[in-house]
Structure 1
Amino acid sequence: MSSPSRIAVAVRQDRTSASQWAAVGLLTLATFLAVTSEMLPVGVLTPMATGLGIPAGNAGASLTITGLVSAVAAPLVPRLLGDLDRRKVLALAMLVLVLGNALSCIANGFALLAMSRVVLGIGMGTVWGLAAAIAGRLVAPRHAALAVSFTVSGVASASVLGVPLGTLIGNSFGSRAAFGSLSAFGVLIAAALLFFLPPLHRPQPIKIAGSAAPSLPLLRPAVIGGLILVVLLVVAHFASYTYVRPMLEQRAGLAADQIALLLLIYGAFGLLGNFAAGAAAARRPRLTVLLLAVGITASLVLLALFGGSALAASLTIGLWGVAYGGLSVAAQLWMTAAAPDRVEHITGLYAGAFNASIAIGAFVGGLLVENSGLSALLWTTTALALAALLSGLVGPGPKSGNAPD
């Protein structure tokens, strides 16, 4: 028998109830844990590499493994689900994340670390892809875009709270304690998803004003244009962001606790960027994404030119946080505006491309750091970000005002 909370969430009305928003909050926590699990090596890169006895470049490459696996899982899972209850699939994916973090906690070398990142990639790709697609179904139709913004804010919140707190735990008790904490948190979220979310089976298409006919292929021009922009921009971001800790240590001379504070500032500005970009992209997705691309490009240029100054690096980190913090939700709304008739599939494809870009970025960053140094890394990623901006200016995009009703 369904619980009262679950019944209340399942009802679609003109108004969204507190229990419906609570269900969206659970999805936000799920994406928060998934992205924190993926990104935690950024904050504990140095002690994790030391503890495992491997180079920092190899430890950073663990992000590549997670990204590649999640890039396959995210678009594949929606095609395999059929009419399975998405609530149960999400809860199972959370337990997969729990297992992956537990393996990271006990890893004694690169082999077991790599295995843990494969497991994490499966869980993360499933959680991210499904959570963003489900969010709009839990609330009144007019609140669908806001629900997506809240759910995807888990990505920015991972930077605000997850990575900084994990960094503090890693600095105080070791990186293994940080991964163990994520495992415990994941068990609680999995149980809450099963209890509070309603049964969620195969979705009906979300209708958007001016939407394309359902017979159109998924890879239509606006989708392809958005994917090209996102891939280039995310590769540029993660190639540099993965190595932000050694960058701030070596170029700006900052201590570990100072870096943890800066990561917290980065995440706080990222959270602001998430909601600001979500509101703007609901009406003008292309313009919003282009403005965010300008911000990321400018941040990389400033770090390349003035990153040796602690003050300049700190200010630039704030700008970087705002710009990148809004990208995931703005690009998500670009995709749903471009393919409103295939929301679950386009969300999975987007999440897969996003995570593949994380993998490529971490790999490229590792190669550049190990072979050419941090300065070459920053200028190369600046060129990639500029290429992303140019592709968005000349390529196709969705029409403005296509937020889900």
Structure 2
Amino acid sequence: MQNKSNALRAPDGDAPISSPASPPPGSAWLAVLSVAVGSFALVTTEFLPVGLLPAIAAELAVTEGIAGMMVTIPGVVAAFAAILVTVGVGKSDRRHVILGLTALLAVSNLIVALSHSLPVVLLGRALLGIGVGGFWAIGGALGGRLVPAASATRATAIIFAGISLGTVAGVPAGALIGEALGWRMAFAAAGAVSVLVFLMQLFLLPRLPTDKATTFAHLPALLRVKKGRLGMLATLLVFIGQFAAYTYVTPFLTQISGLSAKATSALLLTYGAAGFIGNLIGGWAVARSVRNSLIATGLVMGVSAALLPLLGTTLWGATALIITWGLAFGMMPISVQTWMFRAAPDAMESGGAVFVATAQVSLACGALVGGMAVDHLGVASAMVVGGAFAIGMAAAIAAWGGRDEGTAVKLHAVH
């Protein structure tokens, strides 16, 4: 939206930002596509270890719980990066920032693919965390800057579609590559995609100057709103629950359900496809009741994950529960983000980095909590622990969520 000074209001902070020179429509949409492919590459790389965990643990001679640090470390780093990158880049051209973050993604994949030492692997994953946190604090806002205001929603949807595609195809594709050529080749392939994304963005992204820097003073606005704080608690609980269980779903399916590597990869693909459908269901559900959508998401996700050790010991039982879980996972991002926008639409502009940081640190804590459960109680326990956190989120919203309020906001899936 333009004001009298022809500036835009930046979703990554309170600072107004200058409109870029209007490129031809085709060039604008190609620029949006380059950011969308970047989001796909980030999501794919962030969760690539999920489908490769047993092979990684075996080659590096560590437990699967320790190998799960490959998910924990980037989540922790991303939590800090979301805030520090947002503030630290100051008035830098956002084009240069995005290119730098994409370059970190390529370097991260190269380090992981070539390293035979767990500490060096984790260093590479830490670099990924900088890219993930910085991208979601800044990159998600680019859609409205690359195209005319009337097309901003569509552009943002395209960028976030990269997340859904990464969830649907990225993790199982990595698992299939890992099975056929080894887990290192899966990271090498992700690195090659990262290089291509960098080249796309280098040639397609226009200059994206910013007039005013975001400061630390802008960040706490979201926490001053009661429903905003409740939304942050819901984010904490549901992300911990999701990734305490999902990080270790591959070992569960191979060890407890007794599935082959190919069957596990196929089931992961089915999970992602169910998530895509769940995203559509979530859009319908939040239009009717955000509160009920969040409660349903937590209950369905929690119960399906917690029942896996009991009913998921056969192919058919595991398939039914994984599909159900995938549907709830697809509903989760749109339900959480819609709650946050309705609770504090103005604060989300200045507090968006805090929201991203909360989601990422919750993701990291989930992988850590799940890993501790796996190492001490067995892989099945991670499903129960994750399910309990998700159900806890549903209980918190049911107890303190009150009635739905605010104007409907049309949103699209986010990670």
Q: Sort the TM-score into its range (normalised by shorter chain).
A: 0.7 to 0.9
- Structure-2 change in CA distance of 1:143 and 1:184 (3 Å): same
Match of 1:384, SS state, is helix
Contact 1:297-1:385 within 8 A present in 2 as well: yes
Tell me whether 1:403 sits opposite 2:409 in the alignment.
yes
1:48-76 deviations in Å (ceiling 9; x for gaps): 12222222221112211111000110122
State the partner residue of 2:52.
44
Match of 1:326, SS state, is helix
State the partner residue of 2:63.
55
> In structure 2, how many angstroms separate the alpha carbons of the residues matched to 1:20 and 1:293?
38
State the partner residue of 1:217.
221
Match of 2:99, SS state, is helix
Of 360, 363, 376, the residue aligned with 1:358 is 363
Tell me by how many angstroms 1:143 deviates: 5.3
State the partner residue of 1:67.
75
Of 119, 127, 150, the residue aligned with 2:135 is 127
Tell me whether 1:116 sits opposite 2:116 in the alignment.
no
Tell me by how many angstroms 1:136 deviates: 3.7
Of 264, 270, 292, the residue aligned with 2:269 is 264
Tell me by how many angstroms 1:270 deviates: 1.2
- Structure-2 change in CA distance of 1:56 and 1:351 (3 Å): same
- Structure-2 change in CA distance of 1:298 and 1:11 (3 Å): farther
Tell me by how many angstroms 1:307 deviates: 1.1
Tell me by how many angstroms 1:142 deviates: 5.7
State the partner residue of 2:183.
175
Tell me by how many angstroms 1:404 deviates: 6.7
State the partner residue of 2:5.
none
Question: Residue 394 of structure 1 aligns to which amino acid in structure 2?
Answer: A
Contact 2:301-2:328 within 8 A present in 1 as well: yes
Of 283, 293, 316, the residue aligned with 2:298 is 293
Question: Residue 372 of structure 1 aligns to which amino acid in structure 2?
Answer: L
- Structure-2 change in CA distance of 1:215 and 1:127 (3 Å): closer
Tell me by how many angstroms 1:295 deviates: 2.3
Aligned residues: CA RMSD: 2.8
Match of 1:340, SS state, is coil
Match of 2:208, SS state, is coil
Tell me by how many angstroms 1:145 deviates: 4.7
> In structure 2, how many angstroms separate the alpha carbons of the residues matched to 1:404 and 1:27?
21
State the partner residue of 1:233.
238
- Structure-2 change in CA distance of 1:352 and 1:203 (3 Å): farther
- Structure-2 change in CA distance of 1:393 and 1:89 (3 Å): same
TM-score, with length taken from structure 2: 0.84
> In structure 1, how many angstroms separate the alpha carbons of the residues matched to 2:29 and 2:310?
44
Tell me by how many angstroms 1:363 deviates: 0.6
Question: Residue 222 of structure 2 aligns to which amino acid in structure 1?
Answer: L
> In structure 2, how many angstroms separate the alpha carbons of the residues matched to 1:257 and 1:38?
21
> In structure 2, how many angstroms separate the alpha carbons of the residues matched to 1:11 and 1:399?
37
Question: Residue 362 of structure 1 aligns to which amino acid in structure 2?
Answer: A
Of 138, 148, 163, the residue aligned with 1:155 is 163
Tell me whether 1:29 sits opposite 2:30 in the alignment.
no
Tell me by how many angstroms 1:181 deviates: 0.9
Contact 1:43-1:163 within 8 A present in 2 as well: yes
State the partner residue of 2:386.
381
Tell me by how many angstroms 1:9 deviates: 8.8
Tell me by how many angstroms 1:127 deviates: 1.6
> In structure 2, how many angstroms separate the alpha carbons of the residues matched to 1:254 and 1:146?
40
- Structure-2 change in CA distance of 1:319 and 1:238 (3 Å): same
- Structure-2 change in CA distance of 1:133 and 1:391 (3 Å): farther
> In structure 2, how many angstroms separate the alpha carbons of the residues matched to 1:283 and 1:134?
29
> In structure 2, how many angstroms separate the alpha carbons of the residues matched to 1:272 and 1:349?
28
Which stretch shifts more, 70-79 or 331-340?
A: 331-340
Which stretch shifts more, 216-225 or 253-262?
A: 216-225
Tell me whether 1:255 sits opposite 2:260 in the alignment.
yes
- Structure-2 change in CA distance of 1:38 and 1:189 (3 Å): same
1:346-372 deviations in Å (ceiling 9; x for gaps): 332222111111110111111101101
Tell me by how many angstroms 1:36 deviates: 1.3
Question: Residue 333 of structure 2 aligns to which amino acid in structure 1?
Answer: S
What are the ranges of 5 or more consecutive residues in structure 1 without an aligned counterpart? 1-7, 205-213
Of 154, 164, 171, the residue aligned with 2:172 is 164
Question: Residue 57 of structure 1 aligns to which amino acid in structure 2?
Answer: G
Question: Residue 221 of structure 1 aligns to which amino acid in structure 2?
Answer: K
- Fraction of identical pairs, as percent: 34
> In structure 1, how many angstroms separate the alpha carbons of the residues matched to 2:44 and 2:320?
23
Question: Residue 246 of structure 1 aligns to which amino acid in structure 2?
Answer: P
- Structure-2 change in CA distance of 1:329 and 1:173 (3 Å): same
- Structure-2 change in CA distance of 1:227 and 1:159 (3 Å): same
> In structure 2, how many angstroms separate the alpha carbons of the residues matched to 1:306 and 1:370?
22
Match of 2:68, SS state, is helix
Tell me by how many angstroms 1:222 deviates: 2.2
- Structure-2 change in CA distance of 1:373 and 1:60 (3 Å): same
Tell me by how many angstroms 1:223 deviates: 1.8
How many residues align? The count is: 386
What are the ranges of 5 or more consecutive residues in structure 2 without an aligned counterpart? 1-18, 213-217
1:288-344 deviations in Å (ceiling 9; x for gaps): 333322321232233233011210111211121121123223323333343433545
State the partner residue of 1:3.
none
Contact 2:250-2:264 within 8 A present in 1 as well: yes
Tell me by how many angstroms 1:21 deviates: 4.4
TM-score, with length taken from structure 1: 0.86
Describe how 1:3-14 pairs up with structure 2 within 5 A. 11=22
Runs of 4+ off more than 6 Å: none
> In structure 2, how many angstroms separate the alpha carbons of the residues matched to 1:109 and 1:345?
40
Tell me whether 1:368 sits opposite 2:376 in the alignment.
no
Which stretch shifts more, 284-293 or 238-247?
A: 284-293
Of 371, 390, 393, the residue aligned with 2:395 is 390
> In structure 1, how many angstroms separate the alpha carbons of the residues matched to 2:313 and 2:352?
39
